[in-house]
């Protein structure tokens, strides 16, 4: 095969772990990829950009190489020779301790085209996320990045620990956790002071990031007591102490909290993204799936007679999406078909979904539930008005019955159905056993029901005792109480933003209460029993 018809190899840096730090070029290349060979620490959300590609795991741990480097090189060449666009997706930057140079040489020797897509290296990004500038005027005029994967006491090491110990520049040590004690000893023996500040940052740039600052002479003991493990970056030098002043990640109100998101998978990303912005670690465990109705006859009949309706009421974003998808795909029509009807929406997100399709809702009740809509039109004469309600198959009857009681003619059709997903029991129980379940969010009654069905009464009680139960509104809260999970917090505004605000308010107040107990103002000894404090175990 000639070079003109062969494929191409892309050596792509996935960045330090946080998908938000992926480069625009990396996203572009992943979207066009035919094959992606990815490393162990690449986030699944990054792989999500490669929707049409074959994914090949080529991850390595110190004690286990899924695929030797020679085999990786051969596979890259083989697939590119077959005409594929092959992405080698590597954590950090492919040319910083990523063996990207070896893979580039393999492509060149095979006569294949290749492109390097740099990534943000964790050597710089992780210290920044811990509030540590690797250079700082008056403290460090330079920085040296070294691998700790080599044995510092082994003859012939490529790392000159004696020279590094004697200098004043910042040392950033990657892949060094397995030999941290030996590295610290080598630096001490070669002249670095025992009081030199050192920072160790675990899971850098991720919501679960933890860090420790300790003197070099106490480093190994302190790291062991805290239980920090790989992946981690080690920063040696005076700048490491700045992390205690400049740490900005812990200031986010949900920093380190693990929050279960029970929404349908297609919708979970919005809430998860909001939680990450506030420092939380979202755990997506969708309990429901949104599917088309088993029988579309009623929906199709309603769409076919759309001009006969006086009012169309949309009660959810899902209802809007399902209705307009069917309107466009099957009936080959668009928003102009609704020109003769008033359109009402329950909730601002539903109204936004309509606006995205070219329709401004004439009426949105101030409170985002069916009862508020009924109250708002309580004095209206609805006699003879024809209403269409395209909703879920399990929608509550209050809206339908309330409008009918006011004389309206109602056609309620299933635009979509909600199906339970029961496959996350083990993940929740694991978080419970580890004491890491901080909160569970519910955005509808169906998410509560399908969540609770997966657990025994005793397990539901354990979830209730350990986690904050967060509800989006009173209808969801009522269901949660009936099923043994009374909400700890409920959104004042029945939106995702309102749910997030309620969670933030709870944890900020809990943290403030805990700080008042741990740091009493009257000088008495701290009482760590905290019987009335935060509910978390």
Least confident of 43-52, 169-178, 421-430, 506-515: 506-515
Same domain, 114 and 135: no
Same domain, 369 and 403: yes
Report d(CA 211, CA 277) in Å as an integer: 19
Q: Kind and range of the H or E element at 402?
A: helix 398-405
The set of catalytic residues is 39, 60
Same domain, 379 and 450: no
- pLDDT for 76 equals 96
| Domain-terminating residue out of 418, 443, 468 | 418
- pLDDT for 479 equals 94
Q: Which CATH number covers residue 277?
A: 3.40.50.10090
Q: Give every CB contact of residue 530 below 8 A, 6+ residues apart in sequence.
A: 514, 517
In this prediction, residue 438 has a pLDDT band, given cuts at 50, 70 and 90, of very high
Report d(CA 244, CA 69) in Å as an integer: 39
Q: Is residue 1 part of a domain?
A: no
- pTM (two decimals): 0.70
Q: Is residue 483 part of a domain?
A: yes
In this prediction, residue 12 has a pLDDT band, given cuts at 50, 70 and 90, of very high
The yes-or-no verdict on residue 519 having pLDDT over 70 is no
Q: Which domain holds residue 56?
A: 9-120
Same domain, 320 and 381: yes
Same domain, 283 and 427: yes
Q: Which CATH number covers residue 146?
A: 3.30.950.10
As for how many domains the chain has, the answer is 4
Gyration radius of the chain over CA positions: 29
Q: Which CATH number covers residue 100?
A: 3.40.1010.10
Q: What is the 3-state secondary structure (H, E, C) of 376-431?
A: HCCCCCCCCCEEEEEEECCCCCHHHHHHHHCCCEEEEEEEEEEEECCCCHHHHHHH
Same domain, 478 and 331: no
In this prediction, residue 273 has a pLDDT band, given cuts at 50, 70 and 90, of confident
Least confident of 2-16, 23-37, 53-67, 386-400: 53-67
Q: Is residue 530 part of a domain?
A: no
Same domain, 306 and 406: yes
Same domain, 408 and 494: no
Q: What is the mean pLDDT of residues 23-31?
A: 97
Same domain, 115 and 143: no
Q: Is residue 531 part of a domain?
A: no
Same domain, 408 and 503: no
The yes-or-no verdict on residue 483 having pLDDT over 60 is yes
In this prediction, residue 268 has a pLDDT band, given cuts at 50, 70 and 90, of low
Q: Is residue 527 part of a domain?
A: no
| Domain-terminating residue out of 418, 439, 473 | 418
| Domain-terminating residue out of 120, 155, 177 | 120
Same domain, 113 and 216: no
The yes-or-no verdict on residue 129 having pLDDT over 50 is yes
Q: Is residue 524 part of a domain?
A: no
In this prediction, residue 287 has a pLDDT band, given cuts at 50, 70 and 90, of confident
Tens of pLDDT, residues 326-373? 999 899 999 999 988 999 998 888 999 999 999 999 888 877 777 778
How many other β-carbons are positioned within 10 Å of the β-carbon of residue 508? 12
In this prediction, what percent of the chain has a pLDDT beyond 70? 90
- pLDDT for 279 equals 87
Tens of pLDDT, residues 300-327? 999 999 999 999 999 888 899 999 999 9
Least confident of 322-331, 414-423, 492-501: 414-423
Q: Is residue 533 part of a domain?
A: no
Higher pLDDT pick, 155 / 384: 384
In this prediction, residue 44 has a pLDDT band, given cuts at 50, 70 and 90, of confident
β-strands 468-471, 439-442 pairing:
parallel
Q: Give every CB contact of residue 512 below 8 A, 6+ residues apart in sequence.
A: none
- pLDDT for 155 equals 64
Q: Is residue 4 part of a domain?
A: no
CB 341 within 8 A of CB 309: yes
Mean pLDDT, the chain, whole residue set:
86
- pLDDT for 67 equals 83
The yes-or-no verdict on residue 517 having pLDDT over 70 is no
Same domain, 264 and 342: no
């Amino acid at each position: 095969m000639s070079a003109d018809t062969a494929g191409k190899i892309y050596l792509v840096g996935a960045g330090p772990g946080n998908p938000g730090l992926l480069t625009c070029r990396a996203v572009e290349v992943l979207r066009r990829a035919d094959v992606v060979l990815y490393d162990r620490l690449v986030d699944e959300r990054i792989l999500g950009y490669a929707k049409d590609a074959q994914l090949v795991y080529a991850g390595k741990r110190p004690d286990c190489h899924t695929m030797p480097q020679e085999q990786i090189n051969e596979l890259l060449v083989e697939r590119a020779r077959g005409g594929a666009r092959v992405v080698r997706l590597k954590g950090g930057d492919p040319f910083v301790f990523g063996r990207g140079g070896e893979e580039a040489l393999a492509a060149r020797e095979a006569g294949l085209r290749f492109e390097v897509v740099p990534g943000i290296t964790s050597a710089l990004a992780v210290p920044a996320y811990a509030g540590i500038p690797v250079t700082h005027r008056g403290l460090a005029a330079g920085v040296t990045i070294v691998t700790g994967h080599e044995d510092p006491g082994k003859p012939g090491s490529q790392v000159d620990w004696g020279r590094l110990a004697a200098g004043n520049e910042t040392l950033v040590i990657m892949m060094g956790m397995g030999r941290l004690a030996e590295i610290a000893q080598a630096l001490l023996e070669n002249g670095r002071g025992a009081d030199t500040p050192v920072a160790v940052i675990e899971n850098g740039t991720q919501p679960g990031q933890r860090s420790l600052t300790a003197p070099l002479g106490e480093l190994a003991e302190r790291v062991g007591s805290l239980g920090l493990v790989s992946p981690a970056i080690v920063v040696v030098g005076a700048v490491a102490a700045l992390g205690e002043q400049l740490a900005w990640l812990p200031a986010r109100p949900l920093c380190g909290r693990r929050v279960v998101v029970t929404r349908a998978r297609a919708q979970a990303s919005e809430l998860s993204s909001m939680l990450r912005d506030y420092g939380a670690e979202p755990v997506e465990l969708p309990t429901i799936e949104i599917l088309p109705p088993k029988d579309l006859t009623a929906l199709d009949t309603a769409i076919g007679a759309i001009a006969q309706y006086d009012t169309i009421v949309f009660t959810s974003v899902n209802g809007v999406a399902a209705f307009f998808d069917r309107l466009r795909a099957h009936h080959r029509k668009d928003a102009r078909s609704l020109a003769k009807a008033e359109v009402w929406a329950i909730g601002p997100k539903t109204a936004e979904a309509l606006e995205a399709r070219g329709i401004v809702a004439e009426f949105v009740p101030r409170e985002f539930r069916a009862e508020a809509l009924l109250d708002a039109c309580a004095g209206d004469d609805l006699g003879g008005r024809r209403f269409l309600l395209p909703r879920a198959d399990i929608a509550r009857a209050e809206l339908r019955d309330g409008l009918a009681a006011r004389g309206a003619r109602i056609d309620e059709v299933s635009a979509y159905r909600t199906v339970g997903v029961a496959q996350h029991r083990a993940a929740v129980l694991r978080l419970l056993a580890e004491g890491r379940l901080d909160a569970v969010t519910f955005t509808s009654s169906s998410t509560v029901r399908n969540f609770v069905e997966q657990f025994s009464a005793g397990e539901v009680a354990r979830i209730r005792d350990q986690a904050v139960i967060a509800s989006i509104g009173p209808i969801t809260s009522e269901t949660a109480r009936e099923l043994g999970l009374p909400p700890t917090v409920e959104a004042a505004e029945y939106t995702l933003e309102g749910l997030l605000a309620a969670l933030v308010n709870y944890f900020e107040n809990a943290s403030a209460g805990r700080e008042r107990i741990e740091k009493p103002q009257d000088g008495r000894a701290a009482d760590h029993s905290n019987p009335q404090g935060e509910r978390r175990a």
